[in-house]
Copies of this chain bind each other. A is one copy, B any other.
Amino acid sequence: MTSARPYHHGNLRQAVLDRAAEVLRERGAASLSLREVTADIGVSHAAPRRYFADRQALLDALAADGFARLGLRLREAVESAPTFGDQVRAIADVYVAFAVSEANLLELMYAHGRGGDGPLVEARATEAFTPLLDVFRRDQARARRAPGEAERTGTLFLATLQGIAGLASCGVVAADQLDGLVDEAVARYGTGSAAAS
């Protein structure tokens, strides 16, 4: 292992993704340089080209991975919560935690939609939000509501969480206000049809 690095890295694609994710988290997508990443890994500057056609492809992969991880966490959160209210609470906690700790990644994930080219990313995005919307769909099934209201409420809840996290990331919302905002959002959206009380 201390011998000269083998010609074949063996897992270069993943190594590039890992290091790029670190840089992204620390300094943002704008200052993510392919050359720096390759230098850190210890390969030549053109090595990743085989796996990522260009810089944008690497960013796409990072965004897609981000959606996959976010979706997984949302799914786990929903599955581990018994009631609608608990699920809403768990979703809020998971989403805001993700959004705050990986603010740069989330920005990349969303900024990407405007770029236009990224069918994979878009698919991952809708897939990631499915568990969230399902929570509201199931709640709607228990009550009598206008069709489509679950999607609208769920999307509005998602938008609220995203907005909270965004304002927190950019400093408009102070850190000590964050929990209170999340609490209020959960209170407003988590009562659903069951807890009309």
Docked Cα-Cα span, A124 to B122, in Å, equals 34
Q: Identify the A interface with B (CB < 8 A).
A: 28, 30, 103-104, 107, 110-114, 122, 125-126, 129, 152-153, 155-156, 158-164, 166-167, 169-173, 177, 180-181, 184-185, 188
Docked Cα-Cα span, A173 to B107, in Å, equals 16
Does B167 contact A159, Cβ atoms closer than 8 Å? yes
Per assembly, the copies of the chain total 2
29 A-B residue contacts at CB 8 Å?
Answer: A28-B111, A28-B114, A103-B114, A104-B114, A107-B111, A110-B166, A110-B170, A112-B170, A113-B170, A113-B171, A113-B172, A114-B170, A114-B171, A122-B171, A125-B172, A126-B172, A152-B180, A152-B184, A153-B184, A155-B177, A156-B164, A156-B184, A156-B185, A158-B167, A159-B160, A159-B163, A160-B163, A162-B162, A163-B163
